[in-house]
Structure 1
Amino acid sequence: MTDPAFTPDIEAINRIDAVPVILSMVKHLTGMRFAAVARVTERNWVACAVDDSIDFGLLPGGELVLESTICHEIRQHQQPVIFGHASAHPIFSVHHTPKTYGLESYISIPIIQANGDFFGTLCAIDSVPANLDEPAIAKTLTLFAQLIAMSLDTQSRLEATTVELSNANELGRLREQFIAVLGHDLRTPLSAVRMSADLLHSKTEDKRSLNLIAAIRNSSVRMGVLIENILDFARGRLGSGIPVQRKFVQDLEQVLQLNVAEAQAAYPQATFVHDLDLPMGVYCDALRISQLLSNLLSNAATHGSNSTPIVLKAFAEHDEIVITLTNHGTPIPAQLLPRLFEPFTRAEAEQSREGLGLGLYIAAQIAKAHNGTLHVTSDAEAGTCFTARFPARLHPSP
């Protein structure tokens, strides 16, 4: 009965289509009537494939006592062993293996995998002498052994890749579930909080209570922004990217103006100036472009100086829409610029700031989803300028 521990090795050899041909060629080249591929370990000698014309009685899965074989020695020195006439050989005439199995001719080539692991041997035996002095025989069988080793290595890599692909698919499924759960399980209770706050506000006249309700509402709004940022981060980093639906937007300029008005209300200490000159009819996801600009405006108001205005410009250039936002203040450190659009970068750089540091990452992902780009320059004289570009028209896929 085959030891289950060696079933994978036997199956691996059987999956190599060339093995039966190799064993047949070994017999043909050597004139010997038994050839096999053996798995040889510290304790076991197991036949993985056999071509037997002398009724040696060994089948795939069959074992020999390891110490009774020469392969036990080959495993240690990892060199071929060849003799064509054991009874006339100075060493093997007294060796226990030929005597035990009644062998006169023997050849065994080690099978060594790319990582240096010793798998076993490609061997041939016979009870009659054979002419094995021709150097081409040893060279050919060595090539056969190398071919088997390479095939085993290929199988191992394929199996590892299959496992990685399966794990990646499972991970992708879990990511999508995570995004769905995150969206549902966080949004639902937050909506309840907002609705409860609105209901309390409509039924309360006490000034102190109204202030507390206002704080709850403001906190829930901030929480909602954080949740949306986390969701977009999950989609962009863990899922298939931030989704956009590019449609024909008649007046993108008005959308950007509303963004500026909202930013001015949210940051009354800042001064916003805009110069918008956009054509009528742009293909984009207006909500996502609005989100991109909101993130840039919030970033500028948070990190820029209140003594100079934040300047927004939007215009068409060579069939592209260009949106620039410039603010002054402390320049962004040069070492931070290459990583600025990576998630959590600003949060790491300025621990005292609120938020997760996802705003610029999400803005860059929105630009990318529009087949566009988002770049930044920053110095003390010109200030910090973010420039977003994306095609104004839809183009057919190649």
Structure 2
Amino acid sequence: MHQDAPDFSAAIAAVQKIESVPLILEMVKQATGMRFAAVARVTDRHWVTCAVDDSIDFGLIPGSHLELETTICHEIRQNRKPVIFTQASSHPLFSVHHTPQLYGLESYVSIPIVTADGQFFGTLCAIDPAPASFDESTVLKTMGLYAQLIAMNLDLHKDLLASGQALEDAHEVGVLREQFVAVLAHDLRTPLSAVRLSAELLETRVNEPNNLKLIRAVRQSAVRMGVLIEDVLDFARGELGGGIPIKPVVTDTLQEQFEAVLTELRVVHPCAVILDTLSIPTGLNCDPGRLGQLLVNLVDNAITHGAKGEPVVVHIHTVGQSLVLSVHNRGVAIPEAVQPGLFHPFKRPEVGSRKDGLGLGLYIANEICAGHRGTLEVTSNDAHGTEFVATLPC
């Protein structure tokens, strides 16, 4: 193990944020019959583990280092070609290669991970001290696809971080905001749409349950990243002036649209319990798309910060000439001192919360209410839980 290494925490975190990586590693093990699979960051001096699925107690965890020259990945980085063998001891080249001898390996596959800008990130690899039996051509194609999916997600993560930093800089100095919106709309939406459409296409063509599980995880990751991008885009529009655009229409189908949103939320959050009571008349004057976004943001917030196992309760009805939408969750109360700042951008409750998202959901929800000439209020205490109530003249 190498002790004097630079900080690879950003690379490790980027891989760990890809929700489909654990499934990819599981599928690599199933496809090859090997019992160890990993994603490694490989530079000109260092080899470091970013994600691991280990059934042989090889001893590596995320953040572990190997001496670069002892690995085959060192050679893969130089020539950018995959390496595969099922039995090193009988292989004409790898029977005398130092890496299988040093680590006691018989079977091995390693695929380069190359990002869109041509940078070599590292490898997707599988190893085993026992010989393996598989069709090398099929495994190379399958793992090549997985490596491409990882690379695409790394590109999206990098672009999102860069755009977030650009947005903060623009917010501080008050310049380049229009350029940021254009870059965000094109440079992030376009590759993300390609990932989502590819996953949806594969979902219609694949029948094997484990592969379907992986493909659905990729699609759900793309959906989640799409929500983050739209949140940042809405924030940028609001900061440019005029607030978030609202396009009211008279609608007779708002209840059906809310029901569709709740159905999608249950798909995206299969472990959450979402209870709802809807009683919405026809003929309301509002922006149905934005109200759907309002509901998504409030329910996402409740799931993220609420107590696990406790239901999120949604009530939507009319009182007089107003539509009232409330979302309630149990959990640790939001301190009163924190509540006034909840609707500011990049703010998140600190108590009992995970650091998911960008802290824009409640800000955008409040802007949607303001665009409808309405209000968004919060009450939170240990006895009652937390409830957000939107009151919208319609």
- TM-score normalised to the size of structure 2? 0.52
Cα distance in 2, alignment partners of residues 255 and 202 from structure 1: 25
Cα distance in 2, alignment partners of residues 387 and 358 from structure 1: 18
Preserved contact between residue 370 and residue 390 of structure 1 (Cα < 8 Å): yes
- Tell me the residue number matched to 1:96: none
- Tell me the residue number matched to 2:324: 322
Cα distance in 2, alignment partners of residues 242 and 365 from structure 1: 6
Q: Deviations over 1:49-99 (max 9, x none)?
A: xxxxxxxxxxxxxxxxxxxxxxxxxxxxxxxxxxxxxxxxxxxxxxxxxxx
- Tell me the residue number matched to 1:362: 364
- Tell me the residue number matched to 2:334: 332
Q: What are the residue-to-residue correspondences of 1:127-276 with 2, within 5 Å?
A: 174-202=176-204, 209-276=211-278
Counterpart amino acid of residue 196 in structure 1: S
Cα distance in 2, alignment partners of residues 324 and 255 from structure 1: 16
- Tell me the residue number matched to 2:355: 353
- Counterpart of 2:301 (choices 286, 299, 302) is 299
Counterpart amino acid of residue 324 in structure 2: V
3-state SS in 2 of match to 1:221: helix
Preserved contact between residue 373 and residue 389 of structure 1 (Cα < 8 Å): yes
Counterpart amino acid of residue 224 in structure 1: G
3-state SS in 1 of match to 2:219: helix
- Tell me how far 1:293 sits from its aligned partner: 0.5
Cα distance in 2, alignment partners of residues 274 and 337 from structure 1: 25
Preserved contact between residue 172 and residue 239 of structure 1 (Cα < 8 Å): no
- Tell me the residue number matched to 2:392: 390
- Tell me how far 1:238 sits from its aligned partner: 3.2
Cα distance in 2, alignment partners of residues 188 and 375 from structure 1: 36
Cα distance in 2, alignment partners of residues 348 and 308 from structure 1: 19
- Tell me how far 1:212 sits from its aligned partner: 4.0
Cα distance in 1, alignment partners of residues 235 and 223 from structure 2: 18
- Tell me the residue number matched to 2:122: none
Cα distance in 1, alignment partners of residues 295 and 180 from structure 2: 27
Change (3 A) 1:207 1:259: closer
Change (3 A) 1:347 1:310: closer
- Tell me the residue number matched to 2:312: 310
Cα distance in 2, alignment partners of residues 290 and 190 from structure 1: 21
Alignment gaps of 5+ in structure 2: 1-169
- Counterpart of 1:375 (choices 371, 374, 377) is 377
Counterpart amino acid of residue 293 in structure 1: L
Q: Deviations over 1:231-279 (max 9, x none)?
A: 0111122343111100001122222222222222322333222222222
Cα distance in 2, alignment partners of residues 202 and 260 from structure 1: 24
Q: Which has the larger radius of gyration?
A: 1
Counterpart amino acid of residue 338 in structure 1: P
Cα distance in 2, alignment partners of residues 388 and 246 from structure 1: 17
Change (3 A) 1:273 1:236: same
- Tell me the residue number matched to 2:73: none
- Tell me the residue number matched to 2:283: 281
- Tell me how far 1:318 sits from its aligned partner: 2.7
Change (3 A) 1:280 1:294: same
3-state SS in 2 of match to 1:228: helix
Q: Deviations over 1:137-196 (max 9, x none)?
A: xxxxxxxxxxxxxxxxxxxxxxxxxxxxxxx9xx87832232122112211111122233
3-state SS in 1 of match to 2:176: helix
Preserved contact between residue 347 and residue 355 of structure 1 (Cα < 8 Å): no
Q: How many residues align?
A: 223
Cα distance in 1, alignment partners of residues 236 and 263 from structure 2: 29
Q: What are the residue-to-residue correspondences of 1:74-93 with 2, within 5 Å?
A: none
Cα distance in 2, alignment partners of residues 213 and 268 from structure 1: 16
The percentage of aligned residue pairs carrying the same residue is 48
Alignment gaps of 5+ in structure 1: 1-167, 393-398
- Tell me the residue number matched to 1:21: none
Preserved contact between residue 234 and residue 364 of structure 2 (Cα < 8 Å): yes
